[in-house]
């Protein structure tokens, strides 16, 4: 391995510039910038004082596993028990461990483009082949049963479905998911449903979990986005018991699981899940509205509000540039201190991804700087 993740590379350059005292207009990282709620801080402070800080059980502390399963069962109609649940160091490691266990050399893993940057890299790491299914903006960047069917071969092993989707904000309706699960089941595919943005779903839109719709599914969840807890590094995997056992064994050798301190924080977060996820959602919904309204006014555009996640996926045509997405983003960062991620990092040239995670004043300053930088 391979290539450094584009979002991580961008983040590192931003940190270097910040360390030199430069002001950065930050639209790159999907880090919902909110303070950790006081309930979590209090619970962790008390636990640190009164409990020993030792190795956690490899699969995660049982109370947390039970609470995590209860959370997705209650929210999304799943039926997971403790033995279907693994606590991981972020959703990313859940995906990594699952693919490491499931993949053999030459297997094909299907997912759409635009995709989350880590999918092709992790798949290649295990000598399997990414099969990228190109989707279109006019179809809300959605995978359809026909498109999936067209890409099936004798080597097709896994479908990774990212709902709600990074970088496009694509959100699937229940009937669309059922139709996709039918094709996947008929083809004998195992489905990894990456649902780490499930609570960042706005307006009248609803989220449906594949974990409630098919058997051969692993659901990837996380505290990072839904609970605005990226730095705590707690993720969850929910799925068939044999797979969870295999991933647990792997985690035992690879990481021993997330820090017990972070697991206490996650337990406190889950004990107030509705309160916290409502707060994160409403904060991000406000920032999304502010970002999109300001952007559309400045650039005289009519981009729709993304129905979910933390990102706007913006066509370069709006900026009237002849640069490709990498050149455009490099120029913005090096010359104007504006950090965005090139669409090509997600497999889609001609676009950039802008995160609306900052506070409104910072969004305003950043968009004004972007407008100035692109109008000369």
Token digits of residue 147 = 């498109």
Give the position of tokens 């970088």.
Answer: 167
Give the position of tokens 């040239």.
Answer: 349
Nearer to ligand PLP, 135 or 294 (CB): 135
Q: How many whole angstroms from its chain centre is CA 236?
A: 13
Least distance from ligand PLP to the Cβ atom of residue 168, Å? 11
CB atoms within 10 A of CB 108: 20
Look at residues 227, 247, 223 and name the one whose alpha carbon lies nearest to residue 235: 223
Least distance from ligand PLP to the Cβ atom of residue 281, Å? 16
Nearer to ligand PLP, 273 or 294 (CB): 273
Least distance from ligand PLP to the Cβ atom of residue 335, Å? 27
Least distance from ligand PLP to the Cβ atom of residue 322, Å? 30
Nearer to ligand PLP, 224 or 325 (CB): 224
Give the position of tokens 């496009």.
Answer: 168
Token digits of residue 43 = 């619970």
Strand (E) or helix (H) holding 304: none
Strand partners, 170: none
Which whole-number Å values give the CA distances from 31 to 341, 351, 358, in the listed order? 14, 20, 9
Phi, psi angle pair for 73, to nearest 5°: -65, -45
Give the position of tokens 């004082």.
Answer: 49
Least distance from ligand PLP to the Cβ atom of residue 234, Å? 8
CB 156 within 8 A of CB 131: yes
3-state class of 205 per DSSP?
A: coil
Residues forming contacts to ligand PLP in the complex (CB under 6 A) are 30, 90-92, 116, 162, 166, 194, 196, 222, 224, 230, 235
Q: Which residue is nearest to ligand PLP (CB)?
A: 90
Nearer to ligand PLP, 37 or 169 (CB): 169
Instruction: Give 17: exposed, middle or buried? Use CB within 10 Å, 0-12, 13-18, 19+.
Output: middle
Nearer to ligand PLP, 162 or 262 (CB): 162
Nearer to ligand PLP, 61 or 219 (CB): 219
Least distance from ligand PLP to the Cβ atom of residue 74, Å? 20
Least distance from ligand PLP to the Cβ atom of residue 371, Å? 27
CB atoms within 10 A of CB 74: 11
Nearer to ligand PLP, 230 or 337 (CB): 230
CB 86 within 8 A of CB 66: no
Nearer to ligand PLP, 92 or 142 (CB): 92
Nearer to ligand PLP, 152 or 265 (CB): 265
**Axis-axis angle for helices 6-19, 325-336 (nearest 10):** 10
Pairing outcome for strands 108-113 and 156-162: parallel
Least distance from ligand PLP to the Cβ atom of residue 247, Å? 15
How far from each other are the two terminal CA atoms of the chain, in whole angstroms? 40
**In 60-148, at which residue ranges do the beta strands (DSSP E only) sit?**
85-88, 108-113, 129-134
Least distance from ligand PLP to the Cβ atom of residue 91, Å? 3
Nearer to ligand PLP, 157 or 233 (CB): 233
Token digits of residue 228 = 């605005």
Least distance from ligand PLP to the Cβ atom of residue 69, Å? 17
């Amino acid at each position: 391995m391979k290539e450094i993740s584009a979002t991580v590379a961008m983040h590192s350059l931003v940190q270097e510039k910040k360390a030199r005292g430069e002001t950065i207009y930050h639209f790159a990282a999907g880090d919902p910038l909110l303070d950790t709620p006081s309930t979590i801080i209090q619970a962790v402070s008390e636990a640190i004082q009164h409990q020993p800080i030792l190795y956690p059980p490899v699969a995660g502390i049982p109370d947390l596993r039970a609470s995590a399963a209860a959370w997705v069962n209650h929210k999304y109609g799943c039926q997971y028990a403790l033995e279907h649940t693994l606590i991981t160091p972020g959703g990313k490691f859940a995906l990594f461990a699952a693919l490491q266990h499931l993949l053999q050399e030459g297997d094909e893993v299907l997912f759409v483009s635009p995709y989350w940057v880590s999918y092709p890299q992790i798949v290649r790491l295990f000598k399997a082949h990414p099969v990228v299914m190109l989707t279109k903006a006019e179809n809300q960047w959605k995978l359809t049963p026909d498109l999936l069917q067209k890409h099936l071969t004798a080597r097709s092993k896994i479908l990774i479905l990212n709902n709600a989707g990074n970088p496009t904000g694509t959100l699937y309706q229940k009937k669309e998911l059922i139709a996709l699960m039918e094709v996947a089941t008929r083809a004998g595919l195992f489905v990894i449903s990456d649902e780490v943005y499930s609570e960042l779903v706005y307006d009248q839109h609803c989220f449906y979990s594949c974990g409630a719709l098919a058997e051969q599914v692993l659901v990837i969840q996380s505290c990072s986005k839904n609970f605005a807890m990226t730095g705590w590094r707690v993720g969850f995997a929910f799925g068939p018991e044999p797979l969870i056992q295999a991933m647990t064994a792997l985690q035992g050798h690879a990481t021993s699981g997330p820090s017990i301190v972070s697991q206490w924080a996650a337990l406190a977060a889950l004990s107030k899940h509705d309160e916290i996820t409502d707060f994160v959602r409403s904060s991000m919904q406000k920032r999304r509205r502010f970002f999109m309204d300001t952007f559309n006014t400045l650039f005289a555009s009519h981009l729709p509000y993304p129905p979910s996640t933390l990102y706007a996926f913006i066509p370069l045509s709006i900026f009237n540039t002849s640069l490709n997405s990498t050149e455009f983003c490099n120029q913005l960062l090096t010359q104007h201190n504006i950090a965005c991620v090139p669409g090509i990092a997600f497999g889609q040239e001609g676009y950039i991804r802008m995160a609306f995670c900052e506070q409104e004043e910072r969004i305003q300053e950043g968009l004004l700087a972007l407008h100035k930088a692109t109008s000369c």
